Structure 1
């Protein structure tokens, strides 16, 4: 398909540089205008390829969940775990209160 857009001008690049608060030299304006024009042309070609019969995707390959199922396994006895805690109350770890009670 033909490219219907006009080439990016050096004035447009200077305007974009001012908006972005970038210090750009005169030589850089010409260089960046050419480079940005190539980038914009490439993006336009990608838009031409997108067709209504192609379903949008978020990943290049299908994903599947790779986590293992939850299974109950033996663990340390409660007494042994709580023995290493700095403070215990009612068979639980005792921690400082961080939220006040709501009324």
Structure 2
């Protein structure tokens, strides 16, 4: 499966990336390779593998939920570039 430069441009726009023509060409090849590999994975016979199978033996590890005193708001906001009424002010990222 191949991906087109137009699709790369669309993805770049969604991610708000400015890509050069060389980067678009390179990413077209790289993304096509990734999609080809994913397509190969779909060809694997996994009928004998349980859908809940995990590679590792890890399980959920929970800790006791203990309430404790927090830092003062003034100390937390001390390193903030901008703050207002006890809240961090950050640049708008979504239109």
TM-score where L is the length of structure 1: 0.49
Task: Compute the displacement of 1:55 (Å).
Answer: 1.5
User: Are residues 1:60 and 2:55 paired?
Assistant: yes
Task: Compute the displacement of 1:62 (Å).
Answer: 4.0
User: Are residues 1:51 and 2:46 paired?
Assistant: yes
Which of 23-32 and 46-55 deviates more?
46-55
**Which ranges in structure 1 are unaligned for 5 or more consecutive residues?**
65-103
1:25-83 Cα deviation digits (max 9, x unpaired) = 1111000000000011111111211422321344324458xxxxxxxxxxxxxxxxxxx
Change (3 A) 1:30 1:63: closer
Q: How does 1:9-88 map to 2 (within 5 A)?
A: 9-62=4-57
Q: CA RMSD, aligned part only?
A: 2.2
Change (3 A) 1:18 1:61: closer
CA–CA distance in structure 2, aligned partners of residues 35 and 22 of structure 1: 17
**Which ranges in structure 2 are unaligned for 5 or more consecutive residues?**
60-95
TM-score where L is the length of structure 2: 0.53
How many residues were matched structurally? 60
CA–CA distance in structure 2, aligned partners of residues 36 and 21 of structure 1: 18
